[in-house]
A and B are shown apart, each in its own frame.
Chain A
Amino acid sequence: GNSVTQMEGPVTLSEEAFLTINCTYTATGYPSLFWYVQYPGEGLQLLLKATKADDKGSNKGFEATYRKETTSFHLEKGSVQVSDSAVYFCALRGFNNAGNMLTFGGGTRLMVKP
């Protein structure tokens, strides 16, 4: 079946540091890949997405590239801010998945200190 593995947190960084959160997946075919973010006290929000190999999703300074050869979708940001403190979830939607349900990783908590 489908699965997503992401690095365990928490990840603690100083403001303006470079961020990488690793995500790898197992799926048949060509899944779509997503990063969701959950700010304290709020619901999950879609951060970015990529639907085919070599696509780069980007939003709010965050980027992730769909790497089929390494089955990875690592999240990066060049300069984090305190407001980026949240839990980040990598997720996939399987190919030929008529229901489009998402399979999530376990989440990575990011804490950014001023």
Chain B
Amino acid sequence: DTGVSQDPRHKITKRGQNVTFRCDPISEHNRLYWYRQTLGQGPEFLTYFQNEAQLEKSRLLSDRFSAERPKGSFSTLEIQRTEQGDSAMYLCASSLRTSTYNEQFFGPGTRLTVL
């Protein structure tokens, strides 16, 4: 069990550029979540997948954001036409639907800075 991994760990981009982040969940976990955490705040839910199906999206997820989990394993989160307000830590978590408490295991996050 190598835990949830995220790549890259840090990304600096210029306003207007597109960025893509990757999350690799714990291998047998069928649920995958994306959260966003701004400085000094708690994480806020963005979206989640069960296997390859995206089942819920937060209102925070504007149309510039898109997430995929094509084969029910890794997931990508793309932000198009980045804005300075997108600067945040993007967290990925995974869980096993059948586990008793559905505990979510978090990755280390990708810190995005938009200049």
Which A residues fall within an 8 A CB radius of B? 4, 32, 36, 42-46, 49, 51, 89, 91, 93, 98-107
State whether A43 and B107 are in contact (beta carbons under 8 Å apart), knowing that A100-B102, A106-B41, A107-B42 are contacts in the complex: yes
Name the distance in Å between A49's Cβ and chain B's nearest Cβ: 6
Chain B, interface size category, equals 20 to 34
Identify the closest chain A residue to B100 (Cβ): A51
Partner pick for A44 among B40, B44, B48, B91, CB 8 A cutoff? B91
A-B contact count (CB 8 A): 53
Residues of A contacting B41 in the complex (Cβ-Cβ under 8 angstroms): 106-107
- Cβ-defined contact, A32 with B108, below 8 A: no
Residues of B contacting A102 in the complex (Cβ-Cβ under 8 angstroms): 35, 43, 45, 104
Partner pick for A45 among B31, B35, B56, B106, CB 8 A cutoff? B106
Q: What is the bound-complex CA distance between A42 and B43, given in angstroms?
A: 14
